[in-house]
Structure 1
């Protein structure tokens, strides 16, 4: 196999000359060409400095570029005559985009060739421990992310929008009418955060929503960093068949109970619900799992239970920064895969010391990044009462919509049936399903 891709270094120089000829063209060129698209190192360095001059408000010329080259300590990258040599070529400003397209195309071919060599190396290494398919997919994903495309007028997608509005519903409903009235449902490309205190029912919420989406025919991925796949199965059986959790946990079932387990088995095996339950999984493992499901088609939801259990890597700067990065990456993953991403997280304990223990959005543990990146944030709260001198949690669970991009903040109260590992609509709704002004 040929280990190199042919290119025309003159094209890169002509593109730079066209920008020198008409400096305002730098903003058009930057929409489709990156520094990494250049094959000639000094051409890449010159382009980088031209961009820096433009960013600083200057006019791009050989003189301003050389001045920037000296000021930034980059004199070793090319000599002072090079910008003038480029400027002396026969190129005009109107040709800049034509040359830029060629530079971009050659750059893509070269990067693709380099990626193919890297993937071939992975295949030849015989890595028995890692997922070589996901490693290869990661290389391709990085290649795709590194490609720029020219912008387009917003009106050019109008026809596509109208067709979507005619043929698709924007939300998938949840199992709870009260929540649907409050937030509409879950939307592809959106990131949702549901948080509760330890033992507050967030995992039950996540699993119940995942099962509901799978029952609607969507493919669903559940990342469980706390419970094993078998533990999740027990919860699903209890949720579906109304078998008391303790009977399943202690394997003490009646004949009727065993019949219910077999009925649940048939129903569960029909679901496109896949579980990733590797303890200590890193964020890269989770995204690899999500992308693998996406390739199977019709991915509707990824649930991550829960964010605080993801370990920081060896190059971590701070835990706070890691959590912020993962929150932003969760939003990017939702948009990339066009699915809903649900992140479960714990609430800080300090709220219990306030006069009003109901959680607020600043109680999200560890990260304001979740608040910023999420399209919707729901805080779960179970009140307490005294029975016989003993403090117990009530069966009511408040769902506090603390942030939403699709409506207004509101609260709905559902019923928590912990013995059956499920959350259900209350028989008598205390609040109206639709408040004034809600969508």
Structure 2
């Protein structure tokens, strides 16, 4: 990036930050356009997201005496120039009238930086005499697909809304598809309709039952159908997730990978798989610490540049709360509510993996077993459980809450060496228990 562009970005970001503090009422419109994750100045971006979080929680933000303790607690006050530097920053912008313009410019420069990074990566790759042009073109296509600014949804009349629904139903029937995004499991799709935009779905299990494996399998199945999927991993690193994909999708034993018993042929199979899936839009974001606001920033950034159909979070209880002074139950309640809000705002389904407590361990999970908060049940549109004996492979996929349909149990088998679930052969829902009452 040139010095001139860096200077411009800095001026725009400072002006935007000052504007939203002076007049927080512009935040809803501004946050549709950009987030702190798009700031060149990461500290200022973090401060911007903190202000946006407070505003969303209906807490005061246009008072420096309120913000200073929050920035100090976040460890960014000194980087903002201390109290004096913060006050000077806010005084540099006397009006918020240009806030929307500044947000659009911050977003535009962010996209330009992304394009520049792609160009530099391509330039370096093209210097390799052995590089295959087709591979480079596919890589660029995958990274630049759909690069565009975010737009606002239009207000829709009742008549138009119902016509849109009829069109969607006709399209689904003609293509033989379900209404939502497919999980890749026929029984689950037929009982739930798949994953719908704006829905918050919770997939919960006790430790070592396979919730990450199931979450990654659903993510891979969706991406294989041409969907754009973002996996935000708060627990595992990129390499660990890659090992699971190699086991499930390619058949390279997870045990062999971990014990060093894999072969050169296994490595080549993995490289071949990578070459065949340059267009598969599955992105992984390892993040040891992240708030819902930061997760939202990642999701919005991917949606702005590539489009986004599904977000998978692994896992909910590891998300960093905004207020670390509140009780754990209050923190998880806040996180659960914010995830549902994020699903609606970004207009995507969010599948959040969650940990169950040890209450009733050994018996089938219940909603009361959701660790640390009953609000997870209240906010979620669907709650799914995995249950099996630790030493067995027979697994129950339990649809415990289904806001739009019936509850029930689907029988599956878990293959630990492949880190993969397999549903039993089904014929018109023989494994789905229709006698269970509908969730109300």
TM-score (norm 1): 0.62
Closer, same or farther in 2 for the Cα pair 1:118/1:152, shift >3 Å?
Answer: closer
Describe the superposition over 1:318-375 as per-residue Cα deviations: whole angstroms up to 9, x where unpaired.
Answer: 32222112212212222222211000000001222xxx61110110111212111111
Q: Tell me the SS of whatever aligns to 2:98.
A: helix
Q: Which residue of 1 aligns with 2:358?
A: 349
Q: Which residue of 1 aligns with 2:280?
A: 271
Q: Tell me the SS of whatever aligns to 1:420.
A: coil
**Counterpart-to-counterpart distance in 2, 1:164 and 1:214:** 21
> Could you tell me which of 404, 424, 427 is aligned with 1:426?
424
* 1:241 shift after superposition: 1.4
Q: Retained in 2: the 8 A contact 1:181–1:433?
A: no
Closer, same or farther in 2 for the Cα pair 1:35/1:154, shift >3 Å?
Answer: farther
Describe the superposition over 1:261-293 as per-residue Cα deviations: whole angstroms up to 9, x where unpaired.
Answer: 223222443311111102122222211111111
Q: Which residue of 2 aligns with 1:370?
A: 376
* 1:189 shift after superposition: 1.8
Q: Which residue of 1 aligns with 2:17?
A: none
**Counterpart-to-counterpart distance in 2, 1:188 and 1:435:** 26
Does residue 113 in structure 1 map to residue 111 in structure 2?
A: no
Q: Structure 1 unaligned runs (5+)?
A: 1-33, 38-109, 129-139, 384-391
**Counterpart-to-counterpart distance in 2, 1:414 and 1:196:** 14
Q: Which residue of 2 aligns with 1:222?
A: 231
Q: Which residue of 2 aligns with 1:249?
A: 258
* 1:428 shift after superposition: 7.7
Describe the superposition over 1:185-238 as per-residue Cα deviations: whole angstroms up to 9, x where unpaired.
Answer: 212221110000011100001111111111111111000011111111111011
Q: Retained in 2: the 8 A contact 1:379–1:402?
A: yes
**Counterpart-to-counterpart distance in 2, 1:292 and 1:35:** 22
* 1:252 shift after superposition: 2.4
Q: Tell me the SS of whatever aligns to 1:351.
A: coil
Q: Which residue of 1 aligns with 2:130?
A: none
Closer, same or farther in 2 for the Cα pair 1:263/1:429, shift >3 Å?
Answer: farther
Q: Retained in 1: the 8 A contact 2:203–2:353?
A: yes
Closer, same or farther in 2 for the Cα pair 1:315/1:382, shift >3 Å?
Answer: closer
* 1:418 shift after superposition: 1.3
Closer, same or farther in 2 for the Cα pair 1:162/1:175, shift >3 Å?
Answer: closer
5 Å-filtered alignment, 1:363-402, equals 363-383=369-389, 393-402=391-400
Q: Which residue of 1 aligns with 2:117?
A: none
**Counterpart-to-counterpart distance in 1, 2:24 and 2:298:** 31
Q: Tell me the SS of whatever aligns to 2:395.
A: strand
Q: Which residue of 1 aligns with 2:168?
A: 164
Q: Structure 2 unaligned runs (5+)?
A: 1-22, 27-94, 114-148, 173-177
5 Å-filtered alignment, 1:166-181, equals 166-168=170-172, 169-181=178-190
* 1:400 shift after superposition: 1.0
**Counterpart-to-counterpart distance in 2, 1:158 and 1:250:** 57
* 1:118 shift after superposition: 7.6
**Counterpart-to-counterpart distance in 1, 2:325 and 2:227:** 35
Q: Which residue of 2 aligns with 1:416?
A: 414
TM-score (norm 2): 0.61
Q: Retained in 2: the 8 A contact 1:182–1:412?
A: no
Larger radius of gyration: 1
